[in-house]
Amino acid sequence: MNAVANYNFAYLDEQTKRMIRRAILKAVAIPGYQVPFSSREMPMPYGWGTGGVQVTASIIGPDDVLKVIDQGADDTTNAVSIRAFFAKVAQVQTTTHTAEATIIQTRHRIPERKLEAGQILVYQVPIPEPLRFLEPRETETRKMHALEEYGLMHVKLYEDIARHGRIATTYAYPVKVEGRYVMDPSPTPKFDNPKMHRSEALQLFGAGREHRIYAVPPHTDVVSLDFEDHPFEIQHFEHPCALCGAEQVYLDEVILDDRGGHMYVCSDTDHCEERREAGHVGVLGMQEAAE
């Protein structure tokens, strides 16, 4: 026996896990509804994924394989820190490969590779209430969800069209889950919204500061709000990824110099790496190889 005092498995105490687990089960039973839970202080600041971390800590077991991404990347501070956190407090295996992971915690992207049955995607959510910027009072937004009164959201989208000629919302684009609750998909680019629709994977959302958990079970309708004459559209990119040549993926702009040079590369680093390993080469990837 190790005599040195240690953390409980996955950091949280068992009573907290039970409370969060009960909230998750209710969230799964009522897709898109935000279940209040008693969020705990975590050893990281709010805004760094305390909600997602608490959800992950409550579901993770010794046999799970964890992947953490931040804006699609496995190698940014937030992703590396959370992966190291669970490797330390839960001794779980971690990975950067989407296909190998059983639990994927994400900040603001959905992996490009299609998720499979049995995988769980855990979102870090800053503001879970899609109506919050339209109606600041919780008592009112709760009533609006209860009465399925979502006219205000359509007015907001309409005002976008009146002002810009199109729906200008590009991330945290509101969706309707199973024809009932309007839900904030967290600040993922709207490019990812179609991936939520009838996904094979279970999707769990944790908002630590705001004390809310919600869920979308597999095979559940997730429809982006739109109008008949202004249908929902995802972003389109003119060029393929500069490193791997991928098309139909979400790209990040990378500034190369101070003379306006830039390139667009896959936001999903694992997807990009796998493609390059498989021999796909983009415009700038070739140059790199020739050096």
Determine the 3-state secondary structure of 154 from DSSP.
Answer: helix
Catalytic residue among 244, 245, 282, 285: 244
Among 86, 123, 150, 181, binds other proteins (CB under 8 A): 181
Per-residue contact string for residues 150-179; x = within reach of other proteins by CB under 8 A? ----------------------------x-
Residue type, 118: G
Q: What size, in residues, is the chain?
A: 291
Catalytic annotation present for 260: no
- What are the tokens at 291? 């050096």
Beta-carbon contacts of residue 273 (< 8 Å; ≥ 6 apart): 96
Among 114, 143, 166, 239, binds other proteins (CB under 8 A): 143
Which stretch in 27-35, 77-85, 168-176, 254-262 sits in contact with other proteins by CB under 8 A? Answer: 27-35
Q: Is 202 in the site for other proteins (CB under 8 A)?
A: yes
Catalytic annotation present for 52: no
Q: Is 25 in the site for other proteins (CB under 8 A)?
A: yes
Determine the 3-state secondary structure of 257 from DSSP.
Answer: coil
**Measured from the CB atom, is 17 or 109 closer to other proteins?**
17
Among 127, 218, 283, 284, binds other proteins (CB under 8 A): 218
**Measured from the CB atom, is 13 or 288 closer to other proteins?**
13
Residue type, 30: I
Q: Do 105 and 82 form a contact (C-beta atoms < 8 A)?
A: yes
Q: Show the beta-strand stretches assigned E in 73-183.
A: 93-94, 103-107, 120-124, 175-177, 181-183
What count of other Cβ atoms lies within 10 Å of the Cβ of residue 140? 14
Catalytic annotation present for 165: no
Which stretch in 12-20, 40-48, 239-247, 274-282 sits in contact with other proteins by CB under 8 A? Answer: 12-20
H/E segment holding residue 36: strand 35-36
List for the chain the helix, strand, coil content (%; round to 5).
30, 20, 50
User: Which spans of this chain sit near other proteins (rule: CB under 8 A)?
Assistant: 8-9, 14-15, 17-19, 21-31, 33, 35-36, 58-62, 142-143, 145-147, 178, 180-181, 202, 215-221
Catalytic residue list: 32, 241, 244, 266, 272
